[in-house]
Amino acid sequence: MSKLPPSPVAFEPEFVAGMKHIFEDQIVFNQVIGLRITDLRPERVSARIDMRPQLVGHPAYNRLHGGVISAGLDAMGGLACLAAIGARHMDETPAQRLHRFAKLGTIDLRIDYLRPGIGQHFDLTAEVLRLGSRVASTRMELHGPDGTLLACGSGAYIVS
Amino acid sequence: MSKLPPSPVAFEPEFVAGMKHIFEDQIVFNQVIGLRITDLRPERVSARIDMRPQLVGHPAYNRLHGGVISAGLDAMGGLACLAAIGARHMDETPAQRLHRFAKLGTIDLRIDYLRPGIGQHFDLTAEVLRLGSRVASTRMELHGPDGTLLACGSGAYIVS
Amino acid sequence: MSKLPPSPVAFEPEFVAGMKHIFEDQIVFNQVIGLRITDLRPERVSARIDMRPQLVGHPAYNRLHGGVISAGLDAMGGLACLAAIGARHMDETPAQRLHRFAKLGTIDLRIDYLRPGIGQHFDLTAEVLRLGSRVASTRMELHGPDGTLLACGSGAYIVS
Amino acid sequence: MSKLPPSPVAFEPEFVAGMKHIFEDQIVFNQVIGLRITDLRPERVSARIDMRPQLVGHPAYNRLHGGVISAGLDAMGGLACLAAIGARHMDETPAQRLHRFAKLGTIDLRIDYLRPGIGQHFDLTAEVLRLGSRVASTRMELHGPDGTLLACGSGAYIVS
């Protein structure tokens, strides 16, 4: 899916740890859905959600609630923006770059639900299609354990 | 926001109780976000979410996570579809109409995040703009305690 | 549909004429689809498209091409932004306010096609749900000759 | 972008000619925007639009009107559906498969405008992410002459 060439930028462990702390610990609702970052690169970010009983949507089936999918893909789009912004400002300290998160906000979001979210875990990815000075556009995907595309999304974010 | 005239159909208490049971109890993730139905009419459905610490998104502010908003508005769109379908099939028993829920599914969703979700509680509404034999289109809104429009959405649903 | 109270601002004839000139004459593709402004207020803008053979989509039926609908509703969302921006900057001359159009751009757009676009003419409306300093969110509708809602849309726009 | 493996199905010249006839000749508005099919495969369809004065949007710049982009990408999503449906029903005659077009309709559409549409021609592609018995979901892209991604979209379509 990636539209940008791999970036030569490699994030410092301090920046990666800071990003994980914000997304996995400080954003309480990300804890509720169990979102854990698995890879963090300037051009693409990845995360995983393990299936749990409280994430079930449809009572007749054991499938992931659409709201977990939209919440997870929204968070991933924001994470991709922050990674892209971080790579653009490598002249700043990790703390300065992490501070840019405070100004990030979702403008709007589209989610396409393609197939039922059934599985023990789900892998989420996101990439930035365009990073402007004020707005970023992202594309996100959610895959099942066997790699099947279950949902995808597009988002617009305020950045600075 | 309503586009349809008030329907002369009044739902039986049994149907209303069944809808609440499905949405508030059986869909576990709706419990996680605390979605409670406040009004259920053929042409418009309403619900409320009380703010709680685990629904916080942005750590720097005490505001509602975008994922709670998207999950809540998606659920509301589905509820509006089920109410409209219920009103169309009043010749069926409440149990038969409730059973139609098993075939409902979100095709896609758009959410516009207009203003920060700050407040003690949030009111959600949804209406069906078109109910076809296979697909329904809905419009949803989330308001703050003072009635300010904080987010809105559009959804397409598979119905039968 | 309007979410904002009627604005006390009344646009000068010079500003209205300038807006019409930009939208109806200078944007060539708006001429191709035949978009004509019928009302221009700070909180709501209206326009009309007359049906013509070259706007037909589906060959089996005589209905409006979805692309005319999306192009028209996109243009209306932009027009609504420009009206709202104009009302916010009444301290500027009409020429200064019209010049702000050069910085307007669509970020993204959603269109819901509800019913076939059949009729001799179509009425389009748009309103701004939120006007920020960098981004505006709009809602648009397209109605048939009898007032039936045929399509609706949401858009995000870069403003300045 | 393709999510599906290349299909072993090869369309007959009669089917390809029929598809071109419907899309390029019968849908009048596709002629207005100058949409010409360049490749037609079960898993991916491609087309081109040449820049012309009447397709200009922003008067201050010589760029493609957003409505041409949305109209073109909507048409491409529909074309991708028809190609995927055609490949699924190779037991039918080309005429029977082409007849399925009469039942195709766009449910909704999202367009992300990433970069200004500047260039002598634009290449459009679309693929079906999921083809169900009642609804199909597609993803579309518009590229500039140098291959830069200028816009992308997602659509849901009624199929049968």
Domains of chain B: 13-158 (3.10.129.10)
D23-43 pLDDT per residue, tens: 999 998 999 999 999 999 999
Contact A32 B54 (CB under 8 A): yes
Residues of D in contact with C26 (CB under 8 A): 59
For the four alpha carbons of C3, C6, C11 and C13, in that order, the dihedral sign comes to positive
| Cβ distance of D134 and B110 shorter than 8 Å | no
pLDDT above 90 covers what percent of chain B? Answer: 84
The string of pLDDT tens digits covering residues A132-141 is 999 999 999 9
Which residues from chain D sit within 8 angstroms of residue B107, using beta carbons? Answer: 107, 135, 137, 156
Model confidence at A1, pLDDT cuts 50, 70, 90, reads: very low
Q: How far apart are CA B55 and CA A33, in angstroms?
A: 11
Nearest to D113, CA basis, from C108, B8, B70: C108
pLDDT above 60 (res B2): no
* Shortest CA gap B69–chain A (Å): 8
Distance from CA of A33 to the nearest CA of C (A): 27
The distance of C141 to chain B (nearest Cα, Å) reads 12
CB contact under 8 A, C107 and A134: no
**Quick one: pLDDT at residue D120?**
96
pLDDT of B6 over the 80 cut: no
Cβ neighbours of C134 in A, within 8 Å: 134-135, 158
Contact indicator for A105, A63 with CB cutoff of 8 Å? no
- Backbone dihedral region for residue B34 (phi beyond 0: left; psi -120 to 50: alpha; all else: beta): left
Residues of B in contact with A33 (CB under 8 A): 67
With 0-12 / 13-18 / 19 or more C-beta atoms within 10 angstroms meaning exposed / middle / buried, residue C146 is exposed
CB pairs under 8 A between A and B: 116
> Mind listing the pLDDT tens digit for each residue in D104-149?
999 999 999 999 999 999 999 999 999 999 999 999 999 999 999 9
How confident is the model at residue C2, as a pLDDT? 45
| Alpha-carbon gap, residue C30 to D57, rounded angstroms | 8
pLDDT given at position B57? 85
Candidates C4, C111, C130: best to mutate against B (most CBs of B within 10 A) is C130
Interface touch A110/C110, C-beta < 8 Å = yes
Q: What is the CA radius of gyration of chain C?
A: 15
A158 with C134: Cβ contact below 8 A: yes
pLDDT tens per residue, range C81-130: 999 999 999 999 999 999 988 889 999 999 999 999 999 999 999 999 99
Among the ranges given (A7-21, A77-91, A134-148, D2-16), the one the predictor scored with the smallest mean pLDDT: D2-16
| pLDDT of residue B152 exceeding 80 | yes
- Who among B112, B137, B149 is closest to C112 (CB)? B137
**D157: helix, coil or strand?**
strand
Is C1 a residue whose pLDDT tops 50? Answer: no
**Rounded mean pLDDT, A43-61:** 90
Mean pLDDT, range B46-69, rounded to an integer = 90
What average pLDDT score do residues B42-68 get? 91
Look up residue B62 and give its DSSP letter: T
Instruction: Compute the distance between CA of residue B78 and CA of residue B157 in angstroms, rounded to an integer.
Output: 7
Q: Which of B154, A88, B70, D105 is nearest to C108 (CA)?
A: B154
**Are C154 and B156 a contacting pair at CB < 8 A?**
no
The percentage of chain C sitting over the pLDDT mark of 90, rounded to a whole number, equals: 84
Intra-chain end-to-end CA distance of chain C, in Å:
25
B158 and D134: CB-CB below 8 Å? yes
Sign of CA dihedral A64, A67, A70, A74: negative
Nearest to C1 among B1, B114, B156 (CB): B1
B114 interaction partners in chain C (CB closer than 8 Å): 129-130, 137
The ipTM of this complex is 0.92
C108 and C138 in contact (C-beta within 8 Å)? no
Kindly list the partner chains of chain D, i.e. chains with 3 or more CB atom pairs below 8 Å.
A, B, C
Q: State how far residue C14 is from chain B, nearest Cα, in angstroms.
A: 32
Whether the pLDDT of residue B5 is over 70: the answer is: no
The token pair at A158 is: 């305020």
Backbone angles phi, psi at A40, to 5 degrees: -140, 100
Q: Does B62 contact chain D (CB < 8 Å)?
A: no
Q: Is the pLDDT of residue C80 over 80?
A: yes
Chain B residues near residue A67 by CB distance under 8 angstroms: 29, 33, 67-68, 70-72, 74-75
Higher pLDDT, D3 or C76: C76
Asked if C39 and C46 count as a contact pair (C-beta separation under 8 A), the reply is yes
Cβ–Cβ under 8 Å, residues B6 and B43: yes
**D110 → chain C, closest CA residue:** C110
- Asked if C24 is an interface residue toward chain D (Cβ–Cβ < 8 A), one would say no
How confident is residue B14, by pLDDT bands cut at 50, 70 and 90?
A: very high
What span, in angstroms and rounded, lies between the C-alpha atoms of D102 and A149?
29
Count of residues in chain A: 160
Chain B contact for D154, CB < 8 A? yes
Cα-based distances in Å from C73 to C21, C123, D42, D123: 18, 10, 32, 24
How high does pLDDT run on average in chain B? 93
> Tokens in use for B90?
């009043």
Nearest CA in chain B to D159: B134
0.90 cut: is pTM over it? Answer: yes
- Phi, psi angle pair for C47, to nearest 5°: -155, 170
D156 chain-A contacts, CB cut-off 8 A: 112
**pLDDT bracket for residue D5 (50, 70, 90):** low
Collect all residues of chain D within an 8 Å Cβ-Cβ radius of residue B135. Answer: 107, 134-135, 158
Residue that the structure tokens 């809104």 belong to: B141
pLDDT digits (tens, 9 = 90+) for A94-131: 999 999 888 899 999 999 999 999 999 999 999 999 99
Strands D105-113 and D149-158: antiparallel
* Per-window interface: D 95-134 vs C, CB < 8 A: 102, 105-113
